Amino acid sequence: MVVPPGMPEADGRTDGTRVVAHLDMDAFYASVELLRHPALRGRPVVVGGRRRIVAAADGSDRDPVDAGTIPVLRDYAGRGVITTATYEARALGVHSGMGLMKAAQLAPDALLLPADFDRYRLYSRRFKDAVRAFAPQIEDRGIDEIYIDFTPLVAASADPWAAARALAIEIQAAVRTATGLSCSLGVTPNKLLSKIASDLEKPGGITVLMAGDIPARIWPLAVRKVNGIGPKAGAKLESLGIRTIGELAAAPPDWLVEHFGRSFGQWMHAAAHGRDERPVVTFSEPKSISRETTFEHDLHPVRDRTTLSSLFTGLCEKVAEDLRRKGYAGRTIGIKLRYDDFSQVTRDRTIDHPTQDAGMIRRAAGECLKRVPLARRLRLLGVRIGSLSPAGSVETGEKVEAGRLGVNRSLFD
DNA sequence: TCTGGGGTCCTAGGACCC
DNA sequence: TCTGGGGTCCTAGGACCC
């Protein structure tokens, strides 16, 4: 129970019961696009794909929607997945992560808009700033969702859960005022449950759950609703005859440990009972920075080596730019290759001193490249840097003069 | 021409050190 | 000949998330 008014604890917290919210923007990218193209409201729309193929046929600068030039899925050819689908599109069976070619079979008439990440980041800042005005303790979970610690804001209330619901309603209205967008909130004693709860009454829902609600509201749900149980664990549980969170909760912990290992097995047992002590973390240092690209068509390591080499150098330069912009240097440089059969390899190499330099990164990445099989055609190439430290707090290694990049030799040169 | 791009965390083995 | 324990760092792969 939450401590009643008149007996708050020294730190303003409760007896251990927390009140944590999870806020999730509804169909975020697609909803931002609908702000720009209100005429599309009510129609199935998906966001995804590689580049804008919208162009007014007469060269005019009319809005492409008015001009009737927004492409439909049927006309799309090439690689790419759906980033977000409106609820009208989801009703046709498409969802984020689905390949566009497959989605085109299910919803050939759905409209396809290219992603505009700069714009989504702008709206992301707007909604987070709006929430911060009410509740400063926010944990960023990406562009369209956050956890919020309500505990210090409602602990002194006679009925903290009623106060939490009122606060959620206020926040939801403030987000709409600031952005024109709708969101859903889950409010429960911890992050795990709130994440599940925010999804229960989407879109535009507010779901408040207390510990006593777990059997009725959580246990009937599929195990995959638990954040951390993904496709693999879900399939394995299913093969063991466990489909719902309730069935998982009823499974003997030792039996779970036997099948999933000590750490994961014990965690799953606790999760199924709604137990989660993780705090709301308002700041964390980045651990790695990476850039990767999937090619329009698979590339051959030998035949396409010129193309690959310049793409590779470009990725290293982008990583270096990201490091500088964010103020970090890194020591562990790595590469990622995905082959045409979708198999994947990574190699990395740790250097003596942290660097931000594109030439140093390119050289280390080039060494990694020499340790990788290059028989198959490539689908994807990526460059990553880890073991980050704030730049300036460390010596960032020897400077490499400009122009050095072009003369670095490696397998792709 | 199914399957993007940016991340985090975990595991596990070997090297190396005390 | 057979016998140790940590602890940390590095590397590779994989699951998972948004």
Distance CA A327, CA A28 (A): 29
CA distance A298 to A305: 12
Q: How far is CA A361 from CA A28, A88, A335, A398, in A?
A: 35, 45, 10, 12
pTM for this structure? 0.89
CB burial of A231-261 (b: ≥16 within 10 Å; e: otherwise) equals eebbeebeeeebebbbbbbebeeeebbeebe
Q: Among positive and negative, which fits the CA dihedral A203, A44, A112, A97?
A: positive
Pull the structure tokens for residue A88. 């009208």
Q: Nearest 5 degrees, angle CA A149-CA A150-CA A153?
A: 130
**What pLDDT, on a 0 to 100 scale, did the predictor assign at position A49?**
78
Question: Is residue A317 within 8 Å of residue A358, measured between CB atoms?
Answer: yes
Q: Is the C-beta of residue A288 closer than 7 Å to nucleic acid chain B?
A: yes
Q: CA A328, CA A302: separation in Å to the nearest integer?
A: 34
Residues 6 or more apart in contact with residue A75 via CB below 8 angstroms: none
Residue A329 CA to residue A97 CA, distance in Å, equals 32
Structure token pair of residue A187: 């409010």
Segments of chain A scoring below 50 in pLDDT = 1-14, 52-58, 395-410
Secondary element (H or E) of residue A333: strand A328-339
Could you state, in order of their start, the residue ranges of all structural domains in chain A? Answer: 28-115, 288-405
Q: What local confidence, expressed as pLDDT, does residue A10 receive?
A: 40
- How do residues A241-281 score in pLDDT, each as one tens digit? 999 999 999 999 999 999 999 999 999 999 999 999 999 99
What was the pLDDT predicted at A52?
47
Residue type, A339: Y
Distance CA A352, CA A232 (A): 37
**A154 φ, ψ (degrees, to nearest 5):** -120, -5
Q: Which residue intervals of A199-354 are DSSP H helices?
A: 231-239, 245-250, 253-260, 262-272, 305-326
Contact positions of strand B to protein Cβ (< 7 A):
1-12
Residue A261 CB lies within 7 Å of the nucleic strand B: yes
A78: nt with nearest C1' to CA:
B1
Q: Which CATH architecture has domain A28-115?
A: 3-Layer(aba) Sandwich (3.40)
DSSP conformational letter for A217: I
Tokens of A66: 């008015």
Q: Angle A142-A148-A153 (CA atoms, 0-180°, nearest 5)?
A: 165
Q: Compute the distance between CA of residue A396 and CA of residue A22 in angstroms, rounded to an integer.
A: 39
Residue A201 tokens, joined: 């009454």
Beta bridge partners, A335, equal A347, A383
Q: Which two tokens stand for residue A257?
A: 């440990």
Q: CA(A128)–C1'(C13) in Å?
A: 35
**In this structure, what token pair is assigned to residue A172?**
């939801």
Encoded tokens for A318: 């982008």
Q: Look at residue A408 in the predicted model and tell me its pLDDT.
A: 41
- Does nucleic acid strand B have an atom less than 7 angstroms from the CB of A97? yes
What's the pLDDT score for residue A77?
82
Distance A221 CA to B3 C1' (A): 27
Q: Which nucleotide has the least CA–C1' distance to A372?
A: C12
Rounded CA–C1' distance between A261 and B11, in angstroms: 11
- pLDDT per residue as tens digits for the range A93-148: 999 999 999 999 999 999 999 999 999 999 999 999 999 999 999 999 999 999 99
Give the CA-to-C1' distance from A232 to B10 in angstroms. Answer: 15
Using the 8-state DSSP alphabet, how is residue A225 labeled?
Answer: G
Which residues, in sequence order, are CB contacts of A59 under 8 Å at separation 6+?
none
Element (H, E) at A351: strand A344-355
Residue A33 falls in the annotated catalytic set = no
**Shortest-distance nucleotide from A235 CA to C1':** C15
Q: What is the pLDDT of residue A4?
A: 39
Quick check: A68 CB within 7 A of strand B?
no
In the 173-212 stretch of chain A, whose C-beta falls under 7 Å of nucleic acid strand C? Answer: 195
A128 touches strand C (CB under 7 A): no
For A288-405, which CATH class? alpha beta
Omega prior to A253 cis, within 30 of 0: no
Residue A374 (CA) to nucleotide C15 (C1'), in angstroms, measures 26
Tell me, what's the pLDDT at A413? 54
pLDDT at A229: 98
Q: Considering A9, A88, A145, A277, which one is annotated as catalytic?
A: A145
Q: How far is CA A122 from CA A129, A146, A174, A179, in A?
A: 11, 16, 16, 10
